[in-house]
């Protein structure tokens, strides 16, 4: 039986695709094919697929908006579960906002603004999904998912559990979902009542700052490296003379040295080689080992 045939009773035909180029599903626009991609649109479909993958012991990968992933040129042998916009309902009740994990953070922040709720302004320019944001504890401009999430419904080892924020083990760009293989299904955020015009103005200001400081016209994964304690990755990279350094079409952005951009036809291998060169050079110059914030998927040659 083919791999995709295992899911025919669990998902509609159009939610099952074979041999899918992952470069079309990552914001870096690199990465080889996935054997099978599944795009569930209800919690029942999503958990049935996860249960099946677990029972059959199939290698699996969750993708949200693919904005923090470096997938190798060989792609992914197994099943990629895409938790995207078709699993992205949002609703509001009082000062709480509920979202399925495929909702985009920008849409979530907009919904909060429309309901005069403050707290998610920081997230409006982060091009990720709610699930990816929780998994990464995404943050910007002093805000972080951990500050606004009240609980998350997760699938873990065949069980569905409700985790209060305190159970999520949040740290800087870190959550317990990483170690425990938990999948975020949906989430509840508790916000503060505010004035819609002021919330909208804050979001517009933060997005303007992004447009000025970040190379948003090029494919990238955002900040490639985590912020090392006591330093800024971009500043260390710039001090090491690496602004503009390129391997093929993968380049350290000239606008913001913390970003690695794809100038057009970069491969994942080139992005990886660039990453290694940056790590080695910064280590030699400043004694700091930069750790990627981006999740590396698949095999990379050192």
Ligand X SMILES: Cc1cc2nc3c(=O)[nH]c(=O)nc-3n(C[C@H](O)[C@H](O)[C@H](O)COP(=O)(O)OP(=O)(O)OC[C@H]3O[C@@H](n4cnc5c(N)ncnc54)[C@H](O)[C@@H]3O)c2cc1C
What are residue 16's phi and psi, to 5 degrees?
Answer: -120, 120
41 interacts with ligand X by CB under 6 A: no
> Smallest distance from the beta carbon of 76 to ligand X, in angstroms?
11
Asked if 114 is an active-site residue, the reply is no
Greatest pairwise CA separation for the chain in angstroms = 57
Nearest residue (CB) to ligand X, 62 versus 275 = 62
140 interacts with ligand X by CB under 6 A: yes
70 close to 268: Cβ distance less than 8 angstroms? yes
Task: State the catalytic residue, choosing from 173, 186, 188, 220.
Answer: 173
Identify the DSSP state of 220: E
| Distance in angstroms (rounded) separating the CA atoms of residues 216 and 213 | 9
Q: Report CA torsion sign: 9, 101, 217, 254.
A: negative
> Smallest distance from the beta carbon of 132 to ligand X, in angstroms?
2
46 interacts with ligand X by CB under 6 A: no
Site for ligand X in 208-247 (CB under 6 A): 214, 216, 220-222
Strand-pair partners of 93: 96
4 interacts with ligand X by CB under 6 A: no
131 interacts with ligand X by CB under 6 A: yes
CA separation (Å) from 101 to 62, 118, 188, 253? Answer: 11, 20, 10, 31
What are residue 152's phi and psi, to 5 degrees?
Answer: -135, 140
| CA 218-220-223 angle, 5° bins | 125
Stretch 149-178: interaction string toward ligand X, x if CB under 6 A: ----------------------------x-
Nearest residue (CB) to ligand X, 171 versus 241 = 171
246 close to 264: Cβ distance less than 8 angstroms? no
| Token reading at 160 | 């569905």
Nearest residue (CB) to ligand X, 44 versus 94 = 44
| Distance in angstroms (rounded) separating the CA atoms of residues 245 and 277 | 10
Among the listed residues 32, 40, 139, 194, the single contact to ligand X using CB under 6 A: 139
Nearest residue (CB) to ligand X, 9 versus 179 = 179
Among the listed residues 135, 189, 225, 245, the single contact to ligand X using CB under 6 A: 135
106 interacts with ligand X by CB under 6 A: no
Site for ligand X in 49-78 (CB under 6 A): 61-69
Q: Which window, 52-60, 108-116, 130-138, 268-276, contacts ligand X (CB under 6 A)? A: 130-138
Give which of 65, 47, 84, 82 is closest to 161, Cα–Cα.
47
Give the side-chain half-sphere CA count within 13 A for 8: 7
Asked if 293 is an active-site residue, the reply is yes
| Token reading at 103 | 């909702």
Asked if 173 is an active-site residue, the reply is yes
Residue with tokens 């626009």: 29
| Contact positions vs ligand X (CB under 6 A) | 27, 61-69, 83, 101, 126-129, 131-133, 135-136, 138-140, 177, 183-184, 214, 216, 220-222, 295
Enzyme catalytic residues: 173, 223, 293
């Amino acid at each position: 039986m083919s791999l995709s045939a295992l899911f025919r009773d669990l998902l509609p035909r159009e939610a099952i695709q074979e041999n899918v180029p992952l470069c079309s599903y990552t914001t870096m626009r690199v990465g080889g094919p996935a054997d099978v991609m599944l795009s569930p649109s209800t919690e029942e479909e999503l958990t049935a697929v996860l249960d099946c993958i677990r029972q059959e012991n199939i290698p699996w990968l969750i993708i949200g908006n693919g904005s923090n992933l470096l997938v190798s040129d060989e792609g992914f042998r197994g099943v990629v579960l895409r938790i995207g916009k078709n699993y992205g309902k949002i609703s509001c009740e009082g000062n709480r906002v509920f979202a399925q994990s495929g909702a985009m953070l920008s849409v979530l922040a907009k919904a909060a603004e429309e309901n005069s709720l403050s707290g998610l302004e920081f997230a409006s320019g982060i091009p990720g999904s709610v699930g990816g944001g929780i998994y990464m504890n995404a943050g910007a401009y002093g805000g972080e998912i951990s500050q606004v999430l009240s609980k998350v419904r997760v699938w873990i080892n065949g069980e569905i559990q409700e985790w209060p924020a305190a159970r999520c083990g949040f740290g800087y760009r870190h959550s317990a979902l990483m170690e425990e293989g938990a999948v975020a299904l949906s989430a509840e955020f508790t916000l503060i009542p505010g004035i819609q015009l002021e919330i909208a103005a804050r979001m517009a200001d933060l997005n303007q700052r992004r447009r000025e400081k970040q190379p948003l016209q090029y494919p990238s994964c955002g900040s490639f490296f985590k912020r090392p304690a006591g330093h800024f990755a971009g500043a260390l990279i710039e001090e090491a003379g690496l602004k503009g350094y390129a391997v093929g079409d993968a380049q350290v952005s000239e606008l913001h040295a913390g970003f690695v951009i794809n100038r057009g036809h970069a491969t994942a291998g080139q992005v990886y080689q660039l990453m290694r060169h940056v790590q080695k050079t910064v280590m030699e110059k400043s004694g700091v080992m930069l750790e990627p914030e981006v999740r590396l998927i698949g095999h990379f040659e050192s």
